């Protein structure tokens, strides 16, 4: 699953604009990933200017 490192995220929405599944939502300073719709393409992980997203094995 995609994990948001909240201590790093700058809540800019860049990842939202490239997610082909529309699986990312930004509410104020809170970014969340709908891991049910995520296809793990990792495009969001690539694009983040800060490196705030990572793939994690945790469920």
Partner 1 sequence: MKSEYDVLIIGGGPGGALAAKTCAEKGLSVCIVEKRPAIGTPVRCAEGIGEDLIGEFFDKIDPKWISAKIKGAKLISPDGSSFYLNPEMAGNEVGYVLDRKFFDRDLVWQAVEAGAECYVKARAVDAILENGVVKGAVIEHFGILKDVRASIVIAADGVESKFAKYCGIDTTVPLRELETCAQYLMTDIDIEPGITAFYVGREICPEGYIWIFPKGDRTANVGIGISGTQSKDGSRAKDYLDKFVSRNFPEGKIIELIVGGVSVCEPLECTVADNLIIVGDAARLSDPITGGGIYNAMYTGRLAGQVAAESIRSGDCSKKALMKYETTWRSSKMGKALDRNYQIKEIFVKLSDKQLDSILTSVSNIVMKDFSTLTLIKEIIKLNPKLIKELSGLRKYFE
Examine residue 21 and tell whether it contacts ligand SF4 (CB under 6 A).
yes
What's the CA gap between 36 and 8, in Å, rounded?
23
State which of positions 1-59 bind partner 1 (CB under 8 A). Answer: 10-20, 22, 25-28, 43, 46-51
Question: Considering CB distances under 5 to 8 angstroms, the limit depending on partner class, which of partner 1, ligand SF4, none binds residue 38?
Answer: ligand SF4
Residue 18, both tokens: 């490239």
Residue 45 φ then ψ, to 5°: -65, -40
CB 1 within 8 A of CB 56: yes
Q: Give contact residues for ligand SF4 (rule: CB under 6 A).
A: 2, 9-15, 19, 21, 23-24, 26, 31, 33, 38-44, 48, 50, 52-53
């Amino acid at each position: 699953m995609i994990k948001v490192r909240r201590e790093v995220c700058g809540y800019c929405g860049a990842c939202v604009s490239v997610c082909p599944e529309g699986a990312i939502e930004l509410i104020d300073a809170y970014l969340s990933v709908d891991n049910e719709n995520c296809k793990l393409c990792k495009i969001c992980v690539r694009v983040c200017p800060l490196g705030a997203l990572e793939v994690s094995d945790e469920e």
